[in-house]
Amino acid sequence: MSELVSYSFSDGIARLSLDNGKVNAISTDVIAAFNAALDQAEKDRAVVVISGKPGILSGGYDLKIMTSGADAAKALVASGSTLARRMLSHPYPVVVACTGHAIAKGAFILLSADYRIGTEGPFKIGLNEVAIGITMHHVGIELSRARLSAAAFNRSVINAEMFDPADAVTAGFLDKVVPAEQLEAQTMDMARQLTKLNMTAFRNTKLKARKALLELLDQSIELDKEHAL
């Protein structure tokens, strides 16, 4: 499939593993690889499990692209936002194993999934855009508003506060935190549990429940194309 996002399939579960440098930066090529992997997972009618490498899910967008010019940055954010929207409407369950830090776009991957399991440890999870001088994009604001608690929304989006894994559950970035040695087993247990769902009912309910959000994200993607970051 790709060295950036590896793909494996077995027993109704597709494993997508991100591997792009020290911080698992999200680049244009990584997003293309993610989309190709999701295409294959849909063909395989598979529950999707996304993971990073030990210690990090992703540190966010590739800063080389983000600082290379306004047009390049907006194009990368637009493609990343479209990926988030796709995950939110994917017809099969999407589970993320948060293997460590999840910052900026890494945290948005968590907010785009159906179930998120994190590992215990000295890890940071959250949205640091304001801290590094980036005005939060419309999609980021609306996705965070929909998936985070009201208190965490302000602390995360406006104040750029980082959360440890336990507090990330309370905030809404994660659903569960387990010891590192249990992350793989518990993630796969959840994935196997989700394979037992009626997938037609799952797809229809997911789209119905997120209809307003998906429409809002479509509008927000267009707004972000018009405004500087």
Mean pLDDT of 109-117: 98
Distance from C-alpha of 113 to C-alpha of 95, rounded to nearest angstrom: 6
Tell me the H-state helices in 91-210. 105-111, 138-147, 150-153, 165-171, 183-194, 199-209
Using alpha carbons, select from 143, 96, 145, 101 the residue that is nearest to residue 126.
Answer: 101
Domain residue spans of the chain: 5-183+195-226
Residue in the structure block whose two tokens are 């018009």: 226
**CATH level 3 topology of 5-183+195-226:** 2-enoyl-CoA Hydratase; Chain A, domain 1 (3.90.226)
Q: Quick check: 103 and 59 in contact, CB under 8 A? A: yes
Over the stretch 25-50, which tens digit does the pLDDT of each residue have?
Answer: 999 999 999 999 999 999 999 999 99
Return contacts of 60-65, CB within 8 angstroms, 24+ apart. Answer: 60/23, 60/25, 60/26, 60/103, 60/104, 60/105, 60/106, 60/128, 61/25, 61/26, 61/27, 61/104, 61/105, 62/25, 62/26, 62/27, 62/28, 62/30, 63/25, 65/27, 65/28
pTM of the shown model? 0.96
The rounded mean pLDDT for the chain is: 96
Over the stretch 126-184, which tens digit does the pLDDT of each residue have?
Answer: 999 999 999 999 999 999 999 999 999 999 999 999 999 999 999 999 999 999 999 99
Distance from C-alpha of 3 to C-alpha of 156, rounded to nearest angstrom: 32
